[in-house]
Amino acid sequence: MRIALPLLALARADPDMGFFFCGTYVGLYTARIGSLPVSADLYRSLMTSVEESVCASGSGGTLSIVHGSEAAEAWKSDDTAVLGGVVFIGAGVPRSFWRPENDPLRPKSLSFIGELDGVSRVTRVGEDLFHGSAEKNHVVIVNGGNHYGIMDDQDVFDKSGDLKGEISLEEYLEEFKKAFDAFLHNLDTNAPNDYLTRKRNEAASMLDPSLKAFALENNYYYGGQNQIGPDWDPDLCPTVWSGDRGLCEEDGAPWGVFAQAFSSKSIL
């Protein structure tokens, strides 16, 4: 049975629409155009697919469907962000969860993103692969998918920035159903899932060059503290212009040690 609950409260953290599907609460956080959420009506086909899968699984509890990084920030502030499972469409886990000074993500996650997403960089889900666990943080990259291609009536809103998709809405929803069904099975049984394992491995293979590059530069969102070297301390390190500032900081980026020396010598 479907019950849709339009949520009109002023609090930013509220879902844009809430549903009860066969005893499961599903909060929908829609994409933002500018700073405004798009109508939940544009997700008719997606939510029909969600309903079918939820009712077939027989699971209860709480689920969140979140489209885009701005919607993910809204979801992060919601009380349901600590419950059940969350599906990020066209986004990865909000990166603040991966920083050691913050509380970690509590629910299991599925990051489902098209390789042609022009709004969210597909490389962002590399952080899910780098920090997350194979048992809890699942990643699926859809060949030919873009950011808005999973929505109905796409001609009624501005899709600036997105790339042109190479698959139809029906094909996109078919890929979503495979991923979502596998995610529900993992939530219900806590058992490994061949589909999710294979898709995570495919994503890791696809993003391997960027994962290595971010690690090489000691990127902040890949656990790095400082890409070049320490905070300015003339008692410990010579000036950056002398070309070896990176040498005096173990946490400096591997490339920084050489890049700073090379670039500094070239201008002195």
Render pLDDT for 225-243 as a digit per residue (tens, 0 to 9).
655 554 545 555 554 444 4
Mean predicted confidence (pLDDT) in 90-94: 96
Band the pLDDT of 107: cuts 50, 70, 90.
Answer: very high
For residue 66, what are the β-bridge partners?
29, 88
Render pLDDT for 195-219 as a digit per residue (tens, 0 to 9).
999 999 999 999 999 998 887 777 7
Whether 29 and 46 have beta carbons less than 8 Å apart is answered as: no
Nearest to 246 by CA among 222, 267, 268, 225: 225
Mean predicted confidence (pLDDT) in 165-174: 97
Instruction: Please state the pTM of the whole predicted model.
Output: 0.83
Please give the single-letter amino acid code of residue 141: I
What DSSP line would sit under the chain, residue for residue?
-EEEEE---S-TTS-SEEEEETTEEEEEE--EETTEEPPGGGGHHHHHHHHHHHHHHT--EEEEEEESHHHHHHHHTSGGGGSSEEEEESS-S-GGGGSTTSPPP-SEEEEEEETT-SSS-GGGGHHHHHHS-TTTEEEEEETT--SSTTSS-GGGS--TTPPPPSS-HHHHHHHHHHHHHHHHHHHHH----HHHHHHHHHHHHHHHHHHHHHHHTT-GGGT-S-SSSSSP-TTTS--GGGT-GGGG-TTS-HHHHHHHHHHHHHH-
Domain boundaries, the chain: 2-216, 225-267
Where b means 16+ CB within 10 Å and e means fewer, 48-65 reads ebbbebbeebebeebbbb
Residues in the chain, total: 268
Task: Examine the pLDDT at 4 and tell me if it is beyond 90.
Answer: no
